[in-house]
Structure 1
């Protein structure tokens, strides 16, 4: 670091009122957990991730005994884990301090010794994993490209290598067929699919829908000998379901009369699909019968489904939350009985405010936003924070968020904009940012900002822009290209200097950037210059806080320092929060420290503290 940057101020407390202070912290500390996953042939052997210890770690749950135990215990947490099909082993990804670079290890489902999972595979960024009884396939990405390995009968061999992005996708139930996703055509954002025979790894079938139309392999049928592969396609402008019989080379498009987009998984007998439907920030569940094409709603409350799977007896287990109500893990039996399945130990999170929809006409079409107003707010305009989601191919949802809730408690309205680039609104909306990323999204943010001011919701002198990852990038770009709109900014783990970021980031993201920008910084330098926050640093007026992790492979630290060094030469208040982790933190205490610093910074910048 060439310049000493002003450190962030971390307050002892955000609120003078003791009850309010305890409430916002309790939402972060409240124990949460993911939907449990189980071993294919041993459904009593389950794993999930939870923050019950104060750090997100992997847990094992033996349903036959009811015993729960923490599997991993690492300073910066663990998120990625799975089980072997026989339930004997738990596999988890072992990186260093959140840098996402490492290898798979495994340990017995009952406590035991940790060992290398696949001998002969070098460290790298994860690019898919499929575990069978006899066949294991694992993908690794490095700066040189992608490599896929198979471990069969005690021997490991590389069966695929490419300078382009590729990953292991699905192994057939009888372990004869392996599906991979690849971008040999040069566009990792719209991948193609290849199926290989595990006996020799010759190609059995290839499928690509052409330029701008991706195919996503989801999973093979769970029935041995059934070569049907469930996939997503986007032939009609949005993601839909496709069943491909790989060996017969026939396909069935599953057309559902549902707006928005879908994902799915097989029921255990491969006679039906569990469909997760996403539309305008909310999700719901359906059963689709493959014999007669009947689509049946599995009634769930309005909100967000965070994960769902079908047990061998047909019970659907899923996580659910809404903006007002915290996450619960529920089970819906085949007869329609719906009940809470699991409750983590400890007190649940205090509730928060609901969100309402806003639809605003923007330059590229109707923009959807989720809006929450603070409880007991006075009539008239209020301070407002625009929180911009990451991705960019993601979306804000009607889900519980302790982060949203603390801004509301601090007196801010919260607006979440599903700008162009967001998923769930069709392929054209998602891909509209190609060739001009960042600036396109901010046109939609500006339209929603205008609406919020004109409608009387937002105080135009007290609008804050905030985001993490791609949202952090948009935040820095916003204060440089829209300096008169924003009174303060909070940018976490951002892209700040896009050329330097491209040089230092993981290869998977470089491939993504080439597809998004239309090339590399060497081939389309003007696009990278026009879309980089560093280009506009001289125009910044608003006080800004930047947060960054030392080990972040997605938004590396050097390019953030480049931006801050330039900002330091300006007469603009700013603060820098630097921490020892990667692209965000899995440690709850650290998340609380960062959140307190962010909100406190905004309150001071707006003269509210």
Structure 2
């Protein structure tokens, strides 16, 4: 629920008899071929590199049609597929010496499993730490002489330390969420984040000595202010820890010297949220700045305080890293141009084989007055005069944002003749802590006020045809879609809800424990404590008012938006004779199989064209 529906590449998603089939409203073959080509074009992620062997790299790619892990030896420019599983492998990393690849093995997308290892040059997969049983992952730090890993189950969190040649041990256990965050270069200090104060949205930090598990230092900024350990300085004996904080209402940076227990806030004259990583020599920070749907990169010199903007094109940086030679590599795209792995100064670093996917469409910015302040929206219009049939594509999270990046799903709707609107409602990131946290105590209904404000403004502008507006989203966006159909029935001609929360009380019972803790913080308590708050925000409460037809897409193994609560909602629609269609697939909270994604998008477009024709 607190993640996008597609856990791999953007817009990555088995058909059952309930899946609707295309009809005479299907798109012309050339348009279908164009939107499908955007999904089928192989992509690669920003390579992760071994700290002590930077020529050894690991990246994700869907070149096989499924997202898997790939090893890349830059010294010989050889590439090797590491994993090969029916539903893909999303998470992987490298040991500092580059000798070992770690990857997480779940079952068909259920996110519950164990860490596996494989030699970089190839060989058998083995369970990394057999003493640690299957669980949801809660952080992994691989040192030179010790490994720290976290696990989460319905019983809470356990953080383990596995020193080389010694028996692994539990160093932390608690009923509330916790995770492994950072390990010092010499492996002597481990930083964990915890929520013992009761709110996992705003974690505190604790530093442990790995030799004896003793507490070295603590840091918490109090209620409503989270701390995030980013990474230790990459030098022997260096105790400087880079930390993200939000003391002034947005994500900023500080350097905490644990050796002297002193901190230095890094105050940057930038309007949005910032994060950062170290340059390999420890002298500077590579700063990422996110604001209003776009991102920038800077180099911050720690000695002089000089901030130098790196010359990257306007768009979105999905990740960046500073290499030992000082060059910066990044994953970049914008709404028109597909993703590329390039250096900040221009050259392409890593490209997937095959033809580049078709270009997409630029986005327009809109700022609309809303009940909580100005709401930022992105708009794409098809050819021809308005008002247009319009698809409001609502992001998940809720702590995420829509942006000026390449989105194959967005472009598919425009190809089909729809205008597309994205709304960065209250709850979205990139607009400050107050905006992000404004839905606390009233989730769902708060976001829909902002979506409604944008809807009304674009209707008044003549962009949106109010008789031909549909709403669609995945995960939290699917939750908002179903809630909108019940609470704003007059606005919407149809809805497409992918892996949604549909019955919040049942979802709370069945979801992973980490999300239950998140819900308690968001709603102000458990369903037993604030029952009426959950009922007020639950789509199933408003099922009587649903008038528009709805397509529901559901994953059989979804641990975030479990299948039972979706079936409860569908059952209520069925009993009331409400028009609805269902698409079920055999994976978790989304799919890493590209052809499965295409089937889902094809099903959604067919539903939209039949229910809300753009012509």
Q: TM above 0.5, one fold?
A: yes
Deviations 1:154-209 (A, max 9, x none): 21001100000000000000111000010000000000000100011111000000
| 1:246 to partner: Cα distance | 1.1
Q: Does 1:90 align with 2:101?
A: yes
The DSSP-based 3-state class of the residue aligned with 1:341 is: strand
- Which of 11, 20, 27 is the equivalent residue of 2:31? 20
Report the equivalent of 1:517: 523
Deviations 1:486-534 (A, max 9, x none): 0000000000000100000001100100000000000000100000001
Report the equivalent of 1:544: 550
The DSSP-based 3-state class of the residue aligned with 2:168 is: strand
Report the equivalent of 1:368: 376
The DSSP-based 3-state class of the residue aligned with 1:416 is: strand
Report the equivalent of 1:224: 236
Residues 573 and 579, structure 2, Cα contact 8 Å, conserved in 1: no
The DSSP-based 3-state class of the residue aligned with 2:576 is: coil
CA distance in 2, matches of 1:21, 1:429: 38
Counterparts of 1:388-399 in structure 2, within 5 Å, are: 388-399=394-405
Counterparts of 1:196-207 in structure 2, within 5 Å, are: 196-207=208-219
| 1:119 to partner: Cα distance | 2.4
Q: Does 1:341 align with 2:349?
A: yes
Report the equivalent of 1:148: 159
Report the equivalent of 1:44: 55
Counterparts of 1:370-449 in structure 2, within 5 Å, are: 370-374=378-382, 377-449=383-455
Q: Does 1:570 align with 2:576?
A: yes
Q: How many pairs does the alignment contain?
A: 599
Residues 105 and 114, structure 1, Cα contact 8 Å, conserved in 2: yes
Deviations 1:325-370 (A, max 9, x none): 10011013xxxx4211111001111001100100000000000011
Residues 241 and 255, structure 1, Cα contact 8 Å, conserved in 2: yes
The DSSP-based 3-state class of the residue aligned with 2:217 is: strand
Report the equivalent of 2:6: none
Report the equivalent of 1:278: 290
CA distance in 2, matches of 1:13, 1:257: 55
Deviations 1:244-271 (A, max 9, x none): 0112110000000001111100000110
- Which of 485, 492, 502 is the equivalent residue of 1:486? 492
Say which structure, 1 or 2, has more relative contact order (CA 8 Å, 6+ apart): 2
- Which of 450, 458, 464 is the equivalent residue of 1:458? 464
CA distance in 1, matches of 2:304, 2:236: 23
Q: Does 1:127 align with 2:138?
A: yes
CA distance in 1, matches of 2:593, 2:472: 21
Report the equivalent of 1:105: 116
Report the equivalent of 1:171: 183
| 1:599 to partner: Cα distance | 1.1
Deviations 1:278-325 (A, max 9, x none): 010000100000000000000111100011001100110001100111
* TM-score, scaled relative to structure 2: 0.96
Q: Does 1:253 align with 2:265?
A: yes
Pair 186,58 (structure 1): closer, same or farther in 2 beyond 3 Å: same
* TM-score, scaled relative to structure 1: 0.97
Q: Does 1:558 align with 2:564?
A: yes
Residues 14 and 596, structure 1, Cα contact 8 Å, conserved in 2: no
Pair 100,346 (structure 1): closer, same or farther in 2 beyond 3 Å: same
The DSSP-based 3-state class of the residue aligned with 1:386 is: strand
CA distance in 1, matches of 2:497, 2:126: 39
The DSSP-based 3-state class of the residue aligned with 1:226 is: coil
CA distance in 2, matches of 1:126, 1:601: 36
4+ residue stretches of structure 1 with deviation over 4 A?
12-16
Unaligned runs of 5+ in 1: none
The DSSP-based 3-state class of the residue aligned with 1:338 is: coil
- CA root-mean-square deviation: 1.2
Report the equivalent of 1:116: 127
Residues 254 and 265, structure 2, Cα contact 8 Å, conserved in 1: yes
Residues 362 and 444, structure 1, Cα contact 8 Å, conserved in 2: yes
Unaligned runs of 5+ in 2: 1-15
Report the equivalent of 2:606: 600
Report the equivalent of 2:512: 506
| 1:6 to partner: Cα distance | 8.3
Counterparts of 1:293-304 in structure 2, within 5 Å, are: 293-304=305-316
